[in-house]
Amino acid sequence: MARQPRLHEFRLIEQLRRAFGRTGAAVARGIGDDAAVIAPPKGRQMVLTTDLLIEGVHFDLRTASFEEIGYKAAIANLSDIAAMGARPEYALVAIALPASCTTPRILRLYKGIMGACRPYRVALIGGDTSVSPNKLFLSLTVTGSVPAGCALMRSGAQAGDLLYVTGTLGDSLAGLALLSHGRRRATPSLTSSERKFLVGRHRRPIAHPGLGQLLSEHRLASAAIDISDGLSGDLHHLCEQSRIGVEIDAAALPLSPALQAYARASRTDPVALALQGGEDYELLFTVPPAKRRTLHRLARRAGRRLTCIGMIRPEAFGVRVRETTGRLRRLPVTSYVHF
């Protein structure tokens, strides 16, 4: 702490505590002591995840606002909690601040983080603050809980299970492409509302803890993962850990009207966008066929869009895509690369 007077740090932490901290029945001690003290959730298991974001590696302060960086950091963690079938509960935030990070900027960063957390009533219960020689570092930890024995793993899928995905795929990648300059001229036929939708999906993705909990609490899913690096890459993780293969039906992939318009305008293959697009934060999960009807009934009641995009096959089948022409081809592992 040699390069920053402790007084400023204390003042900042006090501001954060007042704006975002919470104590209550379950939080005996939040921000302000040596560590937080929380009541263990009865009959439940804790689920913990952490993400480290580094300026210049995971985000760029020239193109993203502090609020957007905080928001997306929180979504990445909330999506991990969702993919375990858990309910998000607490957040801890560690930051290393370069001199350029003034208090208003840090408060905007937290506004983004806590804005993403608010719908789930996640409480900020602690963190750590340091100076950094020149880059901003942000490490976010989110905890949650799940009924004991109900957590959704990547490893439970079995041949014959159905493969499902929430929402639509590829929108975030198309939004990112639209943000990188030159694309506006390359896609003149895209309407402003289509543009806005895709950019919004990139800038303000959403996580799906509600659906994750529905899947775990009703014991519907045999395995689950969130799509942070693209369907293709994340599906390979699921296949490896479950020791299974999969057949994806290209014609079934859920594509938004805006993504289809973007693909036409940019002459790209919408299926490739859906398979490779990163940062969609949709949930990918497998369901035994006997539970299919219950799944559809509960999803309809919750107003959630789910799409069956394929079927789990034995490991020797590999990971393949049934193209619209009927041809079956291997799906290469392609993962989203930051920037």
* Residues near ligand ADP, by CB under 6 A: 13, 16, 31-34, 93, 95, 124, 126-129
Q: Residue 326 touches which of Mg ion, ligand ADP, none (CB < 5 to 8 A by kind)?
A: none
In terms of CB distance, is 125 or 190 closer to ligand ADP? Answer: 125
Q: Residue 16 touches which of Mg ion, ligand ADP, none (CB < 5 to 8 A by kind)?
A: ligand ADP
Angle at 162 between CA 142 and CA 201, to 5 degrees: 45
Minimum distance, C-beta of residue 84 to ligand ADP, in the bound complex (Å): 24
Minimum distance, C-beta of residue 31 to ligand ADP, in the bound complex (Å): 4
Minimum distance, C-beta of residue 1 to ligand ADP, in the bound complex (Å): 9
Q: Taking the CA of residue 90 as centre, how many other CA atoms within 13 Å lie in the half-sphere pointing to its CB? A: 25
In terms of CB distance, is 26 or 159 closer to ligand ADP? Answer: 26
SS3 content of the chain, % helix, strand, coil (to 5): 40, 25, 35
In terms of CB distance, is 76 or 176 closer to ligand ADP? Answer: 76
Minimum distance, C-beta of residue 236 to ligand ADP, in the bound complex (Å): 36
Q: Is 75 helix (H, G, I), strand (E, B) or coil?
A: helix
Minimum distance, C-beta of residue 15 to Mg ion, in the bound complex (Å): 16
State the greatest distance between any 2 C-alpha atoms of the chain, in Å, as a whole number: 67
Q: Which residue is nearest to Mg ion (CB)?
A: 128
In terms of CB distance, is 50 or 189 closer to ligand ADP? Answer: 50
Minimum distance, C-beta of residue 52 to Mg ion, in the bound complex (Å): 16
Contact present, 281 and 231 (Cβ < 8 Å):
no
Q: Residue 96 touches which of ligand ADP, Mg ion, none (CB < 5 to 8 A by kind)?
A: none
Minimum distance, C-beta of residue 110 to Mg ion, in the bound complex (Å): 16
Q: Residue 168 touches which of ligand ADP, Mg ion, none (CB < 5 to 8 A by kind)?
A: none
Taking the CA atoms of residue 279, residue 280, residue 281 and residue 285 in that order, the dihedral angle to the nearest 10 degrees is -130
Q: Residue 93 touches which of Mg ion, ligand ADP, none (CB < 5 to 8 A by kind)?
A: ligand ADP
State both tokens at 208: 């799906």
Q: Residue 255 touches which of ligand ADP, Mg ion, none (CB < 5 to 8 A by kind)?
A: none
Q: Taking the CA of residue 15 as centre, how many other CA atoms within 13 Å lie in the half-sphere pointing to its CB? A: 14
Distance CA 148, CA 222 (A): 15
- Residue holding tokens 């394929």? 310
Residues that bind Mg ion (CB under 5 A): 128
Minimum distance, C-beta of residue 14 to Mg ion, in the bound complex (Å): 14
Q: Residue 129 touches which of ligand ADP, Mg ion, none (CB < 5 to 8 A by kind)?
A: ligand ADP
Q: With CA atoms as reference, report the closest residue to 183 among 169, 195, 171, 172.
A: 195
Q: Which residues of 3-36 are buried (b: 16+ CB within 10 A; e: fewer)?
A: eeeeeeeeebbeebbeebbebeeebeebbeeeeb
Q: Residue 13 touches which of ligand ADP, Mg ion, none (CB < 5 to 8 A by kind)?
A: ligand ADP
In terms of CB distance, is 60 or 128 closer to Mg ion? Answer: 128
State both tokens at 137: 């570092």
In terms of CB distance, is 14 or 128 closer to Mg ion? Answer: 128
In terms of CB distance, is 97 or 273 closer to ligand ADP? Answer: 97
In terms of CB distance, is 31 or 214 closer to ligand ADP? Answer: 31
Contacts of 153 by beta carbon, 8 Å cutoff, 6+ apart:
84, 223, 224, 241
State both tokens at 17: 């505590």
